[in-house]
Amino acid sequence: MAFRSNQPVSLVFPPFQGVTRRIILLALVEYLGAALLALFFHPSTLLLSLFRLQPGQVATGMLWQLLTYPFVGGGLLSLAFALLTLWFFASALEDDRGSQWLTEYFLVATVAGGALAVLLSLSSARIPGLGPYVVTQGMWPAVLAVMVAYGVLNAEQQVQFNFLFSLKAKYLAVIYVLFYLALALVGGDRFGALTALCNAGAGYGFLKLAPRRGLRIGVSERWFAVRNAYYRAKRRRAARKFAVYMRKQGKEVSLDEEGRYVDPDGKPRDPNDRRWMN
């Protein structure tokens, strides 16, 4: 799939690679593993309940649920459609922003969105459908966050459906979110709808607040900038001390604002030549 083109893009199968492939394969392995487990272990739902998102359990210390709930599959058709959507649009994001960025975005949208949904559910326990004992699972909240990212970063891109009609990416993202919310609310899954909204909101916040190349690279660049500023300041202090020392020896030296030696006659000097110090 092309990305950020002036021409409409068609929904054709992109290369199956990178972080997108790992996420899809992990979801499929979990689904097949759960299906096999159900054949031999009838109370398998008790085991799977440890990995779904339940506010009361998260509040008691089961924090891993904030990361695992997207990979607890629901129905086969819903999972297949979610993973196909993820394949199309996450691959385009990965091509444009890189695998590291997509990994960070997926984790922030999933974990931060899930944590926000848990807090809101616990604080709204009197609202029907929310509280400590509601449960949600599945890939759709994370998929909707991916759709929000695609719609924001590629808002005017025309997405073409089998040459029948085309739709701008920003409208497609809105339709996805609203359609899922409508299905969830009609089905009585208020916590699932809340989690989807929180995932989309966390993803949008990441787009607006995080550096373009991702948090890890942004933090790394900031750290090296601070470190280099420290070393430059240290070099300037050493240069000032050296100038004072040379002045006491009856010699004047010229230093620039960064603490580097400046030849008073303007001639270039070999940086390895230390004879001028004597």
Query: 27 with 148, same domain?
Result: yes
Q: What is the pLDDT of residue 163?
A: 61
Pick the more confident residue, 158 or 112.
Answer: 112
Q: Does residue 146 register a pLDDT over 80?
A: yes
- End-of-domain residue from the set 193, 210, 227: 210
CA distance 103 to 165: 32
Mean pLDDT lowest among 127-131, 139-143, 198-202, 259-263 = 259-263
User: CATH number for the domain including 35?
Assistant: 1.20.1540.10
Query: 204 with 226, same domain?
Result: no
In a domain, 4, yes or no: no
In a domain, 2, yes or no: no
Domain total of the chain:
2
- End-of-domain residue from the set 190, 210, 230: 210
Q: What is the pLDDT of residue 1?
A: 46
Query: 269 with 157, same domain?
Result: no
In a domain, 258, yes or no: yes
Pick the more confident residue, 268 or 237.
Answer: 237
In a domain, 166, yes or no: yes
**Which tens digits make up the pLDDT trace of 61-103?**
999 999 999 998 778 898 999 999 999 999 999 999 999 999 9
Q: Is 177 helix (H, G, I), strand (E, B) or coil?
A: helix
Query: 29 with 135, same domain?
Result: yes
Q: Does residue 2 register a pLDDT over 50?
A: no
Pick the more confident residue, 276 or 123.
Answer: 123
Query: 51 with 159, same domain?
Result: yes
Q: What is the pLDDT of residue 67?
A: 94
In a domain, 77, yes or no: yes
**Which tens digits make up the pLDDT trace of 101-134?**
999 999 999 999 999 999 999 998 788 889 999 9
- Rounded to two decimals, the pTM is 0.75
Q: Does residue 226 register a pLDDT over 60?
A: yes
- End-of-domain residue from the set 181, 210, 239: 210
Whole domain around residue 104: which residue ranges?
Answer: 9-210
Please enumerate in sequence order all residues whose Cβ is within 8 A of that of 172, keeping only pairs 6 or more positions apart, or say none.
147, 150, 151, 159
Query: 201 with 245, same domain?
Result: no
What are the two backbone dihedrals, phi and then psi, of residue 171, each rounded to the nearest 5 degrees? -75, -35
CA distance 227 to 238: 17
Query: 77 with 195, same domain?
Result: yes
